[in-house]
Amino acid sequence: MVGLTANSFNSVSLTPPLVLWSLSRAAASMAVFSAGSHYAINVLAAEQMELAERFARKGADRWVGVTFDEGAGGAPLLHGAAATFECFNRSRYEEGDHVIFVGEVERVTHRPGASPLLFHGGRYYTEHPL
């Protein structure tokens, strides 16, 4: 199982519901994401800052002590996340030194009242509830 911290993802379309995110071609997880049928985008909650930092580090055992359920295609749905998007791995586009992944959203869940963990300008923000 692989996981990473992405600094952003974007809405592409409402009909069908599509989102995108990108990954460096040099990323160790590239082969898994390129070949997999599904992935989950877990929007971490404000209290999950340590988890964001852990999944951003190279060489760390990211999954130790992390609780999750399996979603579509076995994608990990992290407990405590503010929101989760379960996506079919619809298409990929190679651009520069990154690959852009477009996912078709099959299911969305959110935790009412949860504040998402935001990252901007090199720091975390935690005060904006969903």
CA of 33: how far to CAs of 4, 71, 86, 110, in Å? 11, 15, 14, 24
pLDDT value, residue 129: 56
Topology given in CATH for the domain delimited by 10-125: Pnp Oxidase; Chain A (2.30.110)
pLDDT value, residue 16: 97
Q: Is residue 130 over pLDDT 80? A: no
pLDDT in tens, 38-53: 999 999 999 999 999 9
